[in-house]
Structure formats: structure tokens, C-alpha cells
Amino acid sequence: MKKAHVVIMKLECYFIDDEGEETLTKLEEVRITTDSLVIIISHTHRLIYVFKGTETSIRQKFAGARSASMKRLDRGYKIQHIEQEFGIDDSFKPILGFLGGMKTQSVDYVKIPRNIPRKYTKTVETMMASEPLEEATCEFLLAVSNCFEIKGFSKNDLRTGKFELKETKGVPEKIFPIDNYIPRLLISENKIVGIEFWKKTD
């Protein structure tokens, strides 16, 4: 009986988010979707792959190009760009397969509400993928240095997607008491992407 051939690749994966910030991600935590821009350094092939999903932003692409150029100077590897829109190169398919292949979007329970600006997509995806607190409603959200009030009929279960974000105006400076709220951190790809404030209903 022939033994199965196990392919081992020495890779580094860096994800570029909507703000152009870069995060080194453990291989077992890599999740490539259509909105991913990921720089994959293959020490096995001595190449730097820049994968661009069909829904990546201009900011991600600029930041990815800059980062890849710096890594090329540092390591001396050539850069190969992979555009999902134009098809995935055969040479990249084994690496993509090694990393688990393409994944569906992180939220497939419902679609993200249409009124959500793109830069808050990751935050809202994380909100909608999280279990709600028992006997509580989500009243406020802090994200990207802004404060939003949660509007809608499903504030007790944001997974339904039936809510809106209304930016609060005239929030007092310095101290804003939250004694009556339960804060919850929203974490995605090892980064804090927002803070929810829940209020008990009992």
C-alpha cells in the first residue's frame, strides 16, 4: 500500500483590511473570501503572491502593493499578482488549496443591511455573526472613531440584519457614563473592530 504524499509549505500570510492595515495571520486561522486582500509569502517557492478578491477596495489594493514591494526588497522574492476577477492562476491553486480554499462570506445568515457604509462592513459582519446577549438589546456601537445608535426592531438579535446605524450627533466630550450598559468587544482577525453597548431589558 502506497503512503499518502503530504505536501508541506512554508508560508506567511498577511491580510490587508479596509483601512489599509496589515495583520500577520496564523495559517490555521486563514480564511480567504471575496473581500480579502492577502499577501502570501511562499518560502517554498520563493515567491510573494498578492491575492485580490473580487470585492477588495482601492485602499486595500494600494496598501497591498506598497506592502508587497517592501517585502520584495526585504526578502528578494519576485511578486505574482492573483486577481480573482480574472481567474486564479494554476500555479496558485495548490497554495489556495493548502490554505483551505475560498470561503463564503463570514455572514451567511442574512445579507448585511444596505445602508451600511463599506468601511463598517467588517464590524457589522462580526456583529451579525455573534450570539446576542440574553434579555438585552444592543443600543450603541463604537466603530472607526464614531458612535452609532442602533435603530430597528431586532436590536435583541442583530443576526437578522433588521437594523440601521444612526450616527449620534452632539456626544459630550471627555466623560460619557455607561453605567447602565454592558460593553462587548467585537474582534475579527485578531483586531478590535468595534464595541457594542447592550442594555438589559428585565
Task: Please tell me the predicted confidence (pLDDT) of residue 144.
Answer: 78
User: What's residue 112's pLDDT?
Assistant: 63
**pLDDT for position 79:** 96
Q: What is the pLDDT of residue 108?
A: 43
Q: Which long-range contacts (CB under 8 A, 24 or more apart) does 102-105 make?
A: 102/32, 102/33, 102/34, 103/31, 103/32, 103/33, 104/33, 105/33, 105/34, 105/35
Nearest to 149 by CA among 135, 133, 134, 164: 164
- C-alpha to C-alpha distance for 17 and 21, rounded to whole angstroms: 6
> What's the rounded Cα separation, in Å, for the pair 177 and 198?
14
pLDDT tens-digit profile of 50-93? Answer: 999 988 888 899 999 999 999 999 999 999 999 998 888 898 99
- CATH 3.40.20.10 positions along the chain are 11-98
User: Rounded mean pLDDT of 118-130?
Assistant: 83
Give percent above pLDDT 70 in the chain. 85
DSSP-assigned states of every residue in 88-108: --TTTHHHHHHTT-B---S--
- The domain 11-98 is placed in CATH, from the list 3.40.50.300, 3.20.20.70, 1.10.287.10, 3.40.20.10, at 3.40.20.10
Phi, psi values for residue 2, rounded to 5°: -75, 140
What value does the mean pLDDT take over residues 25-42?
90
More confident residue, 72 or 105: 72
pLDDT of residue 48 exceeding 90, the answer is yes
Residues 168 and 49: their CA atoms lie apart, in Å, by 42
Which of 41-45, 113-117, 155-159 has the highest mean predicted lDDT (pLDDT)?
41-45
pLDDT at 8 over 90: no
> In this predicted structure, what is the pLDDT of residue 115?
62
- pTM, two decimals, is 0.56
Query: What span, in angstroms and rounded, lies between the C-alpha atoms of 112 and 124?
Result: 7
Find the mean pLDDT for residues 105-134: 72
Lowest-pLDDT range, 26-30, 171-175, 177-181, 182-186? 171-175
